Amino acid sequence: MAANDPSGIADRIGNELTVLDSELAEIDLLIQQARSEAERHEMKRSQTGDRVATLRSATTPNQADLAEATSQLVQLTRRAVMMESQVDVLQGKQKALGRYHEALERYGALLRDVAAGGGWSAPSGTPPAAAPASLEDGEVPAAVSRLVLTAQEDLRRDIARAMHDGPAQSLTNIVLQAQIVDRLVERDPALARNEVKALIAMVQTTLEATKAFIFEVRPMVLDDLGLVPTIRRAARERGRRSQIVVDFDSLGTERRLDMEIESGLFRMIDQALAGYLSTNPRRVTIRLDWGDQIEARIAAHGEAPAARSEPAPAADASTPAALAQMIDDRRTAAAIGEAEATPSHVLPAKAWRDILQRAATLGMVAELLAGGTEVRIVASATTDGAGEASPAAGEG
């Protein structure tokens, strides 16, 4: 059955539902664990709060003990709040995945209805008056239009949920931290200064997370400067976060492309990059060749071969030095070849499925090479009328 047949797509959706079921079960377990930790921290915080109250009510309170107990109370309050926030985040993810699950079930049912009705177009022999839509007039079948509209609403909902569980939740934690600082300013200025430093770190982390979120949703640099600066930035940021070297080269004359081609090509390259980085290679290389067609190659390179546990037999004393060096070089080359014979940094299956699906939708060619350690993508070099990229855009 063809991969773009409604029934075939429905079967793939069924496979995704199975994966979602296992992910939902794992998140449910994490929620239970996080709740237990939150309850434990809250109990300790309550006990420490009682101790602080007792010390303060003493006729001659021990200032050292009171300061220590107050510091413990602040730390436990922060931990309790963070654990509660973690529970909220996990519950948000659980709800989002639950909506994905429900949406996929709807999509599967709709696709089966489309398949039962004869596929994407009306079956042969159907009178024109009975056809659901006139494809020659450019109209979209009702079932397909419904799928698109539902997908758009799901996307809006997921963006709103991601904002709620990410930046909005972080801002809530910042407010709580600011309240802690406010209470400490007069009572313990030294401790307040430390809490201010923690507050600044939280703000910086939230700002970075928000920028990363915006870039994931839609990198504005892609619209402003084009494909090469966007890939260069993604390579730099992903490499920095994963502490893995990412090399990017662009060969040929850069130019602007149709918006959907630029977006699709960037998404596939970024998916391949993220997939390979998740396998923890030594480095990842991205090469973009500009010609009549655009060819992108993303490859993962493993660690250097480890040293042999057994020493190689030493050359005979009568062996000339040059010959002994040649023997040693060949042994080293053989060891490297043996280590590279079995790829250890293969692109994850889900990333490859997403790349294939997007390539098929946009009419691109996507191939998995070198035992899964390299992705090759070929796209049309159709421009959007903007012509060649400016030197500033190329420098990105």
pLDDT, the chain, mean? 75
For the chain, domain boundaries: 6-120+139-215, 220-304+342-395
3-class state of residue 380 by DSSP: strand
**What angle is formed at CA 365 by the lines to CA 20 and CA 3, rounded to 5 degrees?**
45
Superfamily holding 220-304+342-395: Histidine kinase-like ATPase, C-terminal domain (3.30.565.10)
The residue-averaged pLDDT of 275-296 equals: 93
Q: pLDDT tens digits for 17-53?
A: 887 888 888 888 888 877 887 778 778 878 888 887 8
Q: pLDDT > 70: what percent of the chain?
A: 73
The residue-averaged pLDDT of 315-333 equals: 60
Quickly state the pLDDT bin for 256 (edges 50, 70, 90): confident
Q: Are 297 and 376 in contact (CB under 8 A)?
A: yes
Q: Are 186 and 117 in contact (CB under 8 A)?
A: no
Q: pLDDT tens digits for 230-244?
A: 999 999 989 998 999
Res 211 pLDDT > 70: yes
**What angle is formed at CA 126 by the lines to CA 122 and CA 132, rounded to 5 degrees?**
45
Nearest to 264 by CA among 237, 299, 231, 240: 231
Q: Are 20 and 97 in contact (CB under 8 A)?
A: yes
User: At a CB cut-off of 8 Å and minimum separation 6, what does 197 contact?
Assistant: none
Please tell me the least confidently modeled range out of 45-54, 70-79, 187-196: 70-79
- Phi and psi torsions of 255, nearest 5°: -155, 160
Res 394 pLDDT > 60: no
How distant is the alpha carbon of residue 19 from its chain centre? 17
Nearest to 232 by CA among 277, 272, 288: 288
